[in-house]
Structure 1
């Protein structure tokens, strides 16, 4: 069977048909960034999740965002907060209450991902947490987040971490 010439890759084409469209990982990164901001707003202002979600959908362009993942994080973290904080606390040198609010939101989001989204590799979760802390956290907040997540990952994903380190 001969394929249509238009289906062939042409190296002279300036870009493929899907160029410019964000990848799944890029859409998830955007979802995590918006979710971090939304969780921070929830933490500081104590607004309802539905109000925050509605506000974020109005105020932000969701065309390059994994909207379902944003929603899953936004509702998943508060729904599992007691469990998240219980798992997170032993990995900290200070209490949850003493944490910077931005770094707390990043750590809670990352802990939730490690706990509930085993389809996301632990190294991706750690890297995304570090990147969120670089974008939103204090000057060296990403180093703190990295240290905590490095302690936490083997506790929550023991087999995956061991398999990677072989």
Structure 2
């Protein structure tokens, strides 16, 4: 066989990951699952403009919803939709293009991140950032997670100033330029 046609050995998945790089379902927390379902629901809202209640009923019937943290899902879905203009007002100054040019998936992921920065103080900012990056990797475009990371990393010092400042004081492992280590909340 020539060098170009020689079969490659199969790629071994990382521990806790599927062959596509997504986290295995068993390793996801209820809140991680809630974010996934909220992302799907918010995507529907952004694309179709459907009512939050109708989207909510549809989403709750999806397979696996019973494993999600329903209270966190409710907060994300209804909170993001009811404060969408405020969330967009925070996101837009960090963009290098019009908000309408952003993928609906990345838009919804940014809504989730900004909403959690503002309203879920029990979730550390690095966990919010990491979870949103993972959502964008799993559901978004090829490099969408990098864009989400840049926008949310730019908003974190503004929205979680004390927490980010405390991390900076701890040293280089808390540097905002590095991608956060995977964390579960």
Give TM class, smaller chain.
0.7 to 0.9
Aligned partner of 2:39 in structure 1 is: 36
Q: For structure 1, which runs of at least 5 residues remain unmatched after alignment?
A: 1-21
1:72-87 equivalences under 5 Å are: 72-87=75-90
Residue 84 of structure 1, CA deviation: 0.6
Distance 1:135 1:29 in 2: 12
Deviations 1:69-98 (A, max 9, x none): 111111000111111111111111112111
Q: For structure 2, which runs of at least 5 residues remain unmatched after alignment?
A: 1-25, 170-185
Distance 1:29 1:119 in 2: 14
Task: Determine which of 93, 106, 111 is the counterpart of 1:108.
Answer: 111
TM superposition score normalised by structure 1 = 0.83
* 1:137 is the counterpart of 2:140: yes
Q: Does the CA-based 8 Å contact 2:35-2:73 persist in structure 1?
A: yes
Aligned partner of 1:64 in structure 2 is: 67
Structure with larger Rg: 1
Aligned partner of 1:152 in structure 2 is: 155
Task: Determine which of 124, 130, 133 is the counterpart of 1:127.
Answer: 130
Runs of 4+, deviation exceeding 3 Å: none
| Number of residue-to-residue matches in the alignment | 144
- RMSD value, Cα: 1.4
Bigger share in helix: 1
Distance 1:108 1:58 in 2: 23
Q: Does the CA-based 8 Å contact 2:37-2:65 persist in structure 1?
A: no
TM superposition score normalised by structure 2 = 0.74
